Chains A and B, each alone.
Chain A
């Protein structure tokens, strides 16, 4: 067998990676209130309980508003940055790109407390809006990473041909470049939506009284009787993110195929 022991190890590693996700539905469909083995019996009551939980519904609504807005804003900002960094040489490029990409490695708590300080200093009330400001900041670098590979694989001669045929730079962008990078844009929208929906620390610091879904989930961990419902909610969320990520991956690959680039794999 090709790479025998390595394969065994890699499969064991995947099992380690997926262990929590495999356990999640087991507890979500378990009859008992206590999250422990042995399982006591099949039940869908925790899923039913989700329907009757007004604070949860408000949190879901808040999170969806934040995630959709964040996805659109961060993808838009990322299009500018990715296009600028792949197409042009300009002064302070490394410095500016470094600052824009910084949230990728900066601990989120630092982003959260520094934004909180500024917002309180200028007297802005904490709300959904302030969470969006923070989420755009952390999602943009991921969007740039996706979009840069889309822009990088563009053939410059297509653009030049369009200029030669009398198109302006704006119409070239709209007619030639945009359609070619569209799969990358869709992939970027989906990834930033997923990140924002899942982000906790920034929302925890900046949401004020308007809890997002992760903030709500975190608050429920204090009550042991609420945990099975959270397991049911988690099962739904995991299925949703896997679905969104699969669609994102599909578009990312299609984009690469369209521009004729070799697939190097992965979002990062």
Chain B
């Protein structure tokens, strides 16, 4: 009787209701995301055999992924590209977020945000392909500059290389960078800025000493939300990168779909994720003072 009462109470408790409510989604995520991630982690320690995966524990895939010149170059390039893209994207995005938060009439803010997000949702593949058209040998930039007589032959260095990958990715992830910064700026109490100026700081110094530190949580969120997915981008390096612009996702795809070497592909994927995690954690650690709550 008593245990039935406990069960009954447990069944009605907030914790049980919450767990029951979230269970369909959580089970889906555990089965189709958690378990698969665990599986590729296991694969990365196995050996590729003909038609099957040999289940003996080995570090050989990691040794191969980290020491083979080919893989190491691509890995370092991916890291370099995503860091550059992150820096470019966040620096270019900050003034836009600042403008929308501080200078746009409140009733028109959501229109601006809507305009900023639209390109992000529209046909990613075709947008990337159009950057190839814009930066290509006979592309918009080259034919424009030729037409204006600024250059006498098409520029070669703007297409099929790492630079083209950076431009295209910076374009693709722009809204991702703007929104978190905007949200952080919106939260800033405007009277703090007035106080700064009343106390004799210039507008610029107020920005540096009040606005920027308060906006840092948004900037940090932007950095992570751009940095983490870009390192694994497949389409952009494939379409606009050329042989010199291949990134880690192209390597993973090659191992999985062309060479059918799941263990090595998994080791590369896990290594890439480890690098991303370590870099993100270091970045968070360096910026820890901005992330503490007020008064801490």
* Count of CB-CB pairs between chains A and B under 8 Å: 263
- How far does the alpha carbon of A140 sit from the alpha carbon of B24 in the complex, in Å? 12
**A88 and B14 within 8 A (CB):** yes
| B187–chain A nearest beta-carbon distance, Å | 10
With contact pairs A37-B143, A106-B228, A201-B235 given, residues A241 and B122 touching in the complex (Cβ less than 8 Å): yes
Q: Does A237 contact B (CB under 8 A)?
A: yes
B39: chain A residues within 8 A (beta carbon): 114, 117-118, 121
A27: chain B residues within 8 A (beta carbon): 133
**A110 and B273 within 8 A (CB):** yes
Chain B interface residue count, CB cutoff 8 Å, equals: 90
Write out, one digit per residue, whether chain A residues 134-152 have a CB within 8 A of any chain B CB (1) or not (0). Answer: 1011001000000000000
**A10 and B32 within 8 A (CB):** no
Q: Does B233 contact A (CB under 8 A)?
A: yes
Neighbour of A88 across the interface among B15, B36, B182, B265, CB < 8 A? B15
Q: Does B28 contact A (CB under 8 A)?
A: yes
| A23–chain B nearest beta-carbon distance, Å | 6
A96: chain B residues within 8 A (beta carbon): 22, 26, 29
A58: chain B residues within 8 A (beta carbon): none
- How far does the alpha carbon of A213 sit from the alpha carbon of B127 in the complex, in Å? 15
Write out, one digit per residue, whether chain A residues 225-239 have a CB within 8 A of any chain B CB (1) or not (0). Answer: 001001100100110
A91: chain B residues within 8 A (beta carbon): 15, 19
**A77 and B25 within 8 A (CB):** yes
**B269 and A89 within 8 A (CB):** no
Most chain A CB within a 10 A radius of its CB, from B15, B119, B134: B119
Chain A interface residue count, CB cutoff 8 Å, equals: 90
Write out, one digit per residue, whether chain A residues 35-54 have a CB within 8 A of any chain B CB (1) or not (0). Answer: 11110000000000000000
- How far does the alpha carbon of A96 sit from the alpha carbon of B256 in the complex, in Å? 29
- How far does the alpha carbon of A41 sit from the alpha carbon of B284 in the complex, in Å? 54
Neighbour of A99 across the interface among B33, B134, B179, B249, CB < 8 A? B33
Task: Give B contacts to A, CB under 8 Å.
Answer: 14-19, 21-26, 28-30, 32-37, 39-40, 43, 92, 95-96, 98-100, 102-104, 109-110, 112-119, 121-127, 129-131, 133-134, 136, 138-140, 143-144, 171, 174-176, 179, 182-183, 186, 224-225, 228-229, 231-235, 239, 249, 252-253, 256-257, 262, 265-266, 269, 272-273
22 A-B contacts, Cβ less than 8 Å apart? A2-B103, A3-B102, A9-B95, A23-B130, A24-B126, A24-B130, A37-B144, A80-B25, A88-B14, A90-B17, A96-B26, A102-B29, A109-B253, A109-B269, A113-B256, A114-B40, A117-B43, A133-B32, A194-B121, A238-B126, A265-B110, A268-B179
